[in-house]
Chain A
Amino acid sequence: MRPISYSRATAVADAVATVVADPTSDFLAGGTTEVDLLRQNVLLPRRLVDINDLPLTQIEDRPDGGLYIGALARMSEVADAAGVQERFPMVAQALVLGASAQLRHMASMGGNMMQRVRCGYFRDATSPCNKRDPGSGCSALEGFNRGHAVLGVSEHCIATHPSDVAVPLMALDARVHTEGPHGRQVYPIDDFFLLPGETPHLEHPLEHGELVVGIEVPGLPMARTSMYMKVRDRESYEFALASVAAAVTVEDGAISDVRLALGGVATKPWRARRAEEMLHGAPADTESFRRAAREELAAARTTPLNAFKAELAQRTMVRVLETLTHPERQS
């Protein structure tokens, strides 16, 4: 491994100041992805500031029925929290379906928001990759791209955003809190993740040294019956080929409110706003679900290897909506 200097911070301000002062430095939380990428020479920091001692591990219930999750709460702790399981089952489900038990005990919620893509060309440290080496080209566009994104893609990058838990958080309009050189910032989660566009190396609107300190989830009563479904080749320990987080309210056979987000198919956690719009007021039946799903994926840009994901995403949306609205039909 490359020589790296390492220090542990005990106060947020110190951690931020240390990283701000050194452009070649980075924060280190659970390390479950970052250490791999260091070993692979994909990430090349000269200094790591370990933030695991910072007091950011809280999981608090908010008066509005929402949550505030500290950036260093571990995935497994959040998945086990009663408030999360009762009021936001899709968040707990997304966490449990992510990674492996060992990784969930290590990985932090803030780190999960900041995790890098799984694109093999990004991770091999040698192939051309606009994310790793801006302007070098995208090897995935005509490469092995079975797992790559079909939504939010650009001609510069088609890497899929890998997070599970960010998908229900997107559906819930969560807000990401940061501390940085210019103090505290709060980002609506949709703004926290950037589309690749012409600048795939920019994944978040953060300054160097700006640290995720927490995630705020507003209260949403309908989320009590929400669900997260993840479709993948292997039953566990694998990223999604398509996933759906949804919450829906039906009144008199019609959809009165719906939240819908997709994972595994887009370059960022994907709020299915077009589908939500179509579903508002529509009858809660398969035909409506199919139409809405089709509409959401109409913008999909596929390759021969990943074309099935556009279809798979639609079918997963339909399955989730049917399960939520007609649980008696499912097994």
Chain B
Amino acid sequence: MTATTLAIGQPTDRVDGRHKVTGGAHYSADVLLVGMTYAVMVGARVPSGRITHIDTDEAMQAGGVLAVLTHENLPGAAAQPPLIPSLAGMPAPGQTFFPLQDEVVHYTGQPVALVVADSLERAQHAAALIRVSYQEMPAVTTLDQGRDDAYEPEAIFAGFVPGRTERGDVEAGLAEADVLVDATYSFAANNHNPIEPSATTAAWDGDQLTLYDATQGVTATQLTVAALLGLTPSKVRVISHYVGGSFGCKAMIWAHPALAALAARHVGRPVKLSLTREQMFTSVGHREEQEQRVTLGADKKGRLLALRHHKLSPTSHFDDWAEPSLGVASQIYACPNYEGVYRLIRANTMTPTFMRAPGEASGMFALESTMDDLAHELGIDPIELRLRNYTDTDPTTGNPWSSTGLRVCYERGAERFGWHRRDPEPRSHRDGNWLIGYGMATAGYPVYGPNNPQRARARLYSDGTAVVQAATPDFGTGVATVMTQVAADALGLPFERCRFEGGDTTLPTIAAAVGSSGAGMISAAVHTAATNLRDQLIAQATADSQSPLHGADPGTVTVRDGRMMLRDAPETGESYGDLLHRNFLPDVEAAGSWSPSAESTRYGMTTFGAQFAEVAVDPDLGLARVRRMVGAFAPGRVLNPKTARSQLMGGMLWGLGQALLEANYMDPRRGRWVASSLGDYLVPVNADAPEVDIELIDVEDAFVNPLGVKGVGEVGQVGAAAAIANAIHHATGRRIRKLPITIEDLL
């Protein structure tokens, strides 16, 4: 990269790529400390009931065992903080229930004992020797079991989303419509399954606690554990340099970090608590089983007059949680009359949680499948139908979009995909035994802003290198790479002379990088800090009588390749290094803080895209195989097209998994998930992954954040499953209204 090329926008390789592929990257469970001990969680075997007895004698006598903790001897939690999404920057427990406090069992897998031993194997063995007796009570674990007892909550999603939203008069709109489409969709529960299971290593030094935790937000872990243990946050340091994926299961803070801390305090040695793959199905939330009903009313030209969207789903006994499936689906099209209602069922499960486009992915599947029906019924091309319902304003507020690009996404996606080759008649394309279908759908994902200031720090050394710091971990998205790019441009330094440090609560505070907001909010903080540092250095030079820039107006000074110079007379200037050396400054540092502007509240902020899929269906064998996917997305400024493309591609393949593979079911008799391994819970493998073609559509956004970054983390999934289902309909003439779509649905 030459000094004149800006770092932002370059497809830069990951700065930590070599570390990761050579095993040099240390994850939370890789941490080795002197005197390390190992904890194993024992989960409840019943979904509902009371523990009548726990026999720990045999376990206590097993070799190497240091402690067996149960509700009978574990110290109580100091306080249970409320459930608030971690983006808000506050304590963020995944559920308002902390285990091992009493004898009541609320869900299968709820921790009922914790064994600590001097090796992992000895802890596992002792855990198998614990005998728990239960008095079982009736349980509800499925939507069907609780259907008749559903209730309408005042609010869901930690109070951030109302249970019911209305605009206009939906009944009148439906009555007025020329065409009605009314359809009900069912969705299996999903589990995140990142390849790195959640893990925490806890170590005390006096009253100072250090946690190495696999998390999307070190501050979220810090504040949550501090609240649960009754500590001041400054006594809790959380370190998380590398995280092996999350998909949302590390977005909130579950019980295990606090349990590891309590166990470490109990045994007086560091404790490592790593969840097993099986425990990943019962310890870190899930995407809930759900049912959605969509009723669309339109005129003969396909313009929407009314949209009714109802959702029914089980939640825990502790929290009114549903993923906000009705959100983007209520904003994406112009529609004067709307009614969205969430209904919940109390069930013996954990509180569900964020998972890969939480709500957007399921809600847009339902809406976009129904839109496809409407297009088919009216004989309108599916893209044309969507263009007829395009909106320049957010229908929920009437505010204009901060930026869109949606029309271009349709246009460019259709062109790359070859949409014009589609004969609208179902079953019209064939390739040997395979029926071929083309489908499309709209994608949209909110641009979430943080609730509080996001901070970063930038430091320039006299050797002309810089380090920028912020507390965020990199959970695989490429944050460390793109923030180095952001810092390089703001400081006027080559990329190679900048470095990013994160993943530690001793660094400036950043909220958890969730909701596709990481790149936007962290780049805002880093850009602000680095710009402050550059301005400070320029001011120092122009005030320095020995500088060639002395007396110049700082506004006329620019920096390139580490050299400050007059914009109109570049021969006049000096390097950062010269300035620092002359003044005996080993380094110069500046902080930066950013909050969303008040102005931004006057805009609707959503990242748009268009999804296309070609699917082959073998109708005799019930096989559906995705042959091609094309996505066009307008995510604002793209900081690094390589990592952005990887995220969008990953998102589209999540959509493939959502469409055809990913499912978990409760066995209602036993109140347990039927899948608890990656052999039973299917995610796409390489053989399932088709050619994925992505186009990034340029849109400038002056309102979301300083660099105009709208985010690429999850929009890639939204609409992908609908595009696949719509392609299946086109291939076969059959509309499948359940996810995943499996062989028995297509036979």
Taking Cβ atoms with an 8 Å cutoff, the residues of A that contact B are: 1-3, 39, 41, 118, 120, 124, 126-127, 139, 142-144, 146, 231, 233-238, 241, 308, 311-312, 315-316, 318-319, 330-331
Contacts and interface: CB of A to CB of B under 8 A. Distances in A.
A144 B667 contact: yes
Interface string B714-747: 0000000000000000000000000000111001
Contact of A316 (B431, B621, B672, B684): B621
Given A2-B125, A234-B688, A236-B687, A120 B675 contact: yes
Given A139-B670, A235-B688, A312-B747, A118 B660 contact: no
A233 B687 CA distance: 12
Interface residues of B, number: 36
Interface in B664-688: 665, 667, 669-670, 672, 674-676, 679-680, 682, 684-688
A235 B684 CA distance: 8
B625 A235 contact: yes
Given A234-B685, A311-B747, A312-B743, A3 B621 contact: no
Interface string B434-475: 100000000000000000000000000000000000000000
Interface of B: 45, 121, 124-125, 128, 431-434, 620-623, 625, 660-661, 665, 667, 669-670, 672, 674-676, 679-680, 682, 684-688, 742-744, 747
Contact of B747 (A1, A237, A315): A315
A315 B665 CA distance: 27
A304 to B, nearest CB: 10
B125 A127 contact: no
Contacts of A233: 660-661, 682, 742-743
Contacts of B744: 146, 308, 312
Which residue of B660, B680, B684, B742 has the most chain A CB atoms within 10 A of its CB atom?
A: B680
A122 to B, nearest CB: 12
Nearest to A125: B128
- What is the predominant secondary structure among interface residues of chain A facing chain B? loop
- What is the predominant secondary structure among interface residues of chain B facing chain A? loop
Contact of B45 (A3, A39, A126, A142): A126
B620 A1 contact: no
Given A120-B674, A120-B675, A319 B621 contact: yes
A236 B743 contact: no
A230 B686 CA distance: 18
A315 B620 contact: yes
Contact of A330 (B432, B625, B747): B432
B669 A142 contact: yes
9 contacts: A142-B669, A144-B667, A233-B682, A234-B685, A236-B687, A236-B688, A308-B743, A312-B747, A331-B434
A1 B621 CA distance: 42
A118 B125 CA distance: 24
B189 to A, nearest CB: 13
A234 B661 contact: yes
Given A2-B128, A127-B670, A231-B621, A144 B684 contact: no
Contacts of A127: 670
A126 B134 CA distance: 14
Given A143-B667, A144-B667, A330-B433, A1 B674 contact: no
A315 B622 CA distance: 10
A312 B747 CA distance: 8
A74 to B, nearest CB: 20
Contacts of A1: 121, 124-125
